[in-house]
Amino acid sequence: MTEVLSKAIIDLNVVAKTKEDVFSRLTTLLDHDGRLNDPAVYMQNVADREALTTTGIGFGIAIPHGKTDAVKSVSVAIAKLEQPIDWEAMDGKPVDMVFQLAVPAASQGDAHLKLLAALSRQLIHADFRSKIKQATSEDEVIALIGNTINQTLEVPS
């Protein structure tokens, strides 16, 4: 099983001016790591989902997501933005940390809901948000959140 989170799909120095810039960067990481069948379709799916309602949950965090056949394996790509950007977040504050979910349309159950729940359980804690935003390496991010995310969707062998 491909791990949901890996160093290859984390970028802690993203320069972006818009949500679309972030979607593009994270889609590129996912594609280069072999997790997508069709990056353009996936990115459009994420943008279409974002157009329905913001994925800016507050606290400077957004969790955009796409569920489409353009995705090969359940993944979470992470971006820490060099400068916060307006995400039309629920609390009205700009976003500087993005967790972008990629879920195959045919994935069993509601994988994206399980991932959202796992992320949310950690992100509600101010100390956790502070630690993840201060992380300076992909290894630190994985140490903080990787096990929780990767174990969320483990299937017994």
- Active-site residues: which are they? 65
Strands 65-68 and 95-104: parallel
Q: Which helix (H) or strand (E) holds 83?
A: strand 75-85
Asked if 66 and 37 count as a contact pair (C-beta separation under 8 A), the reply is no
Among the residues of the chain, which ranges form H helices?
19-32, 39-52, 111-123, 126-134, 138-141, 147-152
CB 1, CB 155: distance < 8 Å: yes
Amino acid at 50: E
CA 155 to CA 157: how far, in whole Å? Answer: 6
